[in-house]
Chain A
Amino acid sequence: MKSRLLNRIGLLFLAFVVVSPAILFFLWMLSLSLKFEIDNGAYPPIFIPERFAWSNYAQVFRENNFLLYLWNSILVTGTATALALLIGVPAGYGIARLKAEKAAVVVMIARMTPGLSYLIPLYLLFQWVGLVGTIWPQIIIHLVVTVPIVVWVMIGYFETTPIELEEAASIDGASAWQVFSMVALPIARPGIVVALILAVIFSWNNFVFGVVLASRETRTLPVAVYNMLSYEQVSWGPLAAAALVVTLPVLVLTMLAQRQIVAGLTAGAVKGG
């Protein structure tokens, strides 16, 4: 009994060792974001400063138009995810029911293609159509990230949901659409939540599309935080504060929806971009 307890404590210790790079990194990020320049430039480094520089956060929002970029990020991620669910959930359903494994290959290819190879032709297309300067190019190209994730997760999910209920409903005279919307869809809600969360995270994090397609007014947060580097003399406090603001929504979501994320990633092992 006693050795068992020791075992558990030993394991807990090992787990802490394994997790420590993540914990220490995020704590250091927080520390950087709350220090004045003089503390951030100190050697040896200061972990907990005597005075907290909350002003770093205020400065990020005041000087860098961060509210606009936050709104852009919400708009791009929100629309791209909503559109992806709208077309991806039925597609996942159809592919799962058709047992069309070739369609899954298309998703795999989309997964393997580097984001840049979409970017070059679509960038030219957006220029010709005259969409450059609006938010639409980014929303459209984010579909490259969100649609495969949603389709992939939903194929996996619909393959596990029973078909008997659907058969019963269609024998009772329900149309294909009714079967889908009234029988299949309600059962699939947990799968949709997984797809939604993963699509939101990978769209939110996307950087490469924005760095090419965004103008000054249509930047998303990852692009905005990167641009802080190049457009002013680098001061670490506000930069770290901005980095934390950008990634905080995702981190909170990860903690809240840990179980769904783990389920989705291990089932489909998807990643956008």
Chain B
Amino acid sequence: MAATVQAGRRPLRLAPNYWLFVLPALIVVLAVIVFPWAFTIWMSGNEWTLGSPRSFVGFANYLRLWADPRFWESLGHTLWYTLLSVVMPLILGTLAALIFDARFPWRGFLRGIFVMPMMATPVAIALVWTMMFHPQLGVLNYLLSLVGIPAQEWIFNPSTVIPSLVAVETWQWTPLVMLIVLGGLASLPRDPYESAEIDGANGWQKFYHLTLPMIAPFIMVAAIIRSIDALKSFDIIYAMTQGGPGTASETINIYLYNTAFAYYDIGYSSAMAIIFFVIIVALSLILLMLRQRLQWSEAEGK
């Protein structure tokens, strides 16, 4: 971060009171972020369905969660969905970044189009993908038939629904990975490549031994952001399958939504929201630690 640039500066004689600038935002944060959290934590200790009386039950909601097979199933869906929608965009996004790092005509224009899926409204995108996935009339099965692959049921079959949703997620979020890795590529030093060329390294060797280790920290950042977003993914899944068929694509976020706003089971859904958040934080911390280890061993190798 650029913050370190100004570190060590002499204290200002007339240092303004900067907290006043932060105050309004602080109030908003308290109102729309801290209050909901406090409320959720308190609610998770209560048995309360909207319309019926509330009673304090301690940790009963968490115990119920522990014994809820539907929760475990949705956790499994979430992890599978997340793994796929981190790995696929990482691979494709890195490849795309390598291409966009080079110089060729219309580069800026093509990059602009490439970024579009990520900016497009997810619900609108999801509706069009649903039409494209249609087993009889969808364009995807027609395209498959051109190369001799039999028709698929895509999001309408429990065994293919998650990979199909991930395809949409990958289509949408590969650009973000590309942009982050592209930023990394732009900051690479030239010298190692020149000496590698003198040593007669070929393209693959240069990529594997020079580029990849140097952009690894950027790929890790992309992996962390992608993991958080994939865990929380809602719009695409809800708009395309609502967790179906059956509960085959019900992730924790979808189950949480159903518990809160279909069954109005506020206490239970609050407990679920907290566990869900803990899972997100835990996974991000693991990835952050991995990233630190990565940088550490890199520094050691020098």
For window 76-120 of A, CB contacts with B under 8 Å fall at 86-88, 90-91, 93-101, 103, 106, 109-120
A23 in contact (CB, < 8 A)? yes
| Interchain CB contact (< 8 A) of A266 among B17, B179, B270 | B179
CA distance A93 to B221 in the complex (A): 25
- By beta carbon, the residue of chain A nearest B179 is A266
Contact across chains for B257 and A222 when beta carbons are under 8 A apart: no
Contact across chains for A250 and B19 when beta carbons are under 8 A apart: no
- For the complex, would chain B's binding face be called helix, strand, loop or mixed by DSSP majority? helix
For window 129-148 of B, CB contacts with A under 8 Å fall at 131-132, 136-137, 139, 142
Contact across chains for B121 and A222 when beta carbons are under 8 A apart: yes
Contact across chains for B176 and A43 when beta carbons are under 8 A apart: no
Query: Which one of B25, B29, B120, B280 has the greatest number of beta carbons of chain A within 10 Å?
Result: B25
A231 in contact (CB, < 8 A)? no
* Minimum Cβ distance to chain A for residue B228 (Å): 5
* Minimum Cβ distance to chain A for residue B162 (Å): 19
Contact across chains for A114 and B273 when beta carbons are under 8 A apart: yes
Contact across chains for A247 and B40 when beta carbons are under 8 A apart: no
A11 in contact (CB, < 8 A)? yes
How many A residues are at the interface, by size bracket?
35 or more
B105 in contact (CB, < 8 A)? yes
Contact across chains for A32 and B266 when beta carbons are under 8 A apart: no
Contact across chains for B273 and A180 when beta carbons are under 8 A apart: no
Contact across chains for A225 and B115 when beta carbons are under 8 A apart: no
Query: Which one of B35, B128, B234 has the greatest number of beta carbons of chain A within 10 Å?
Result: B128
| Interchain CB contact (< 8 A) of A117 among B13, B21, B139, B273 | B273
- By beta carbon, the residue of chain A nearest B107 is A15
* Chain B residue contacts of A262, Cβ below 8 A: 111, 115, 179
* Chain A residue contacts of B37, Cβ below 8 A: 113, 117
CA distance A18 to B13 in the complex (A): 55
CA distance A247 to B280 in the complex (A): 29
* Chain A residue contacts of B43, Cβ below 8 A: 120-121
Contact across chains for B116 and A271 when beta carbons are under 8 A apart: no
For window 1-60 of A, CB contacts with B under 8 Å fall at 8-9, 11-12, 14-16, 18-19, 21-23, 25-26, 28-29, 32, 40-41, 43-45
B299 in contact (CB, < 8 A)? no
B45 in contact (CB, < 8 A)? no
CA distance A112 to B180 in the complex (A): 18
* Chain B residue contacts of A90, Cβ below 8 A: 21-22, 24-25
Q: Produce 1/0 per residue, A167-211, CB < 8 A to B.
A: 100110001100110000000000000000000010011011001
* Chain B residue contacts of A170, Cβ below 8 A: 12, 14, 16
Given contacts A21-B171, A112-B277, A208-B235, contact A117 B36 (CB under 8 A): yes
A240 in contact (CB, < 8 A)? yes
Contact across chains for B124 and A243 when beta carbons are under 8 A apart: yes
CA distance A36 to B110 in the complex (A): 31
Contact across chains for B19 and A94 when beta carbons are under 8 A apart: yes
| Interchain CB contact (< 8 A) of A239 among B24, B127, B256 | B127
| Interchain CB contact (< 8 A) of A25 among B14, B107, B171 | B171
- By beta carbon, the residue of chain B nearest A44 is B142
Contact across chains for A118 and B229 when beta carbons are under 8 A apart: no
* Minimum Cβ distance to chain B for residue A53 (Å): 15
* Chain B residue contacts of A140, Cβ below 8 A: 32
A67 in contact (CB, < 8 A)? no
CA distance A14 to B26 in the complex (A): 48
* Chain B residue contacts of A122, Cβ below 8 A: 32, 36
Q: Produce 1/0 per residue, B90-107, CB < 8 A to A.
A: 000001100110111111
B239 in contact (CB, < 8 A)? yes
Which 5 A-B residue pairs are closest in the complex by CB-CB distance? A176-B16, A94-B21, A91-B25, A243-B124, A121-B39
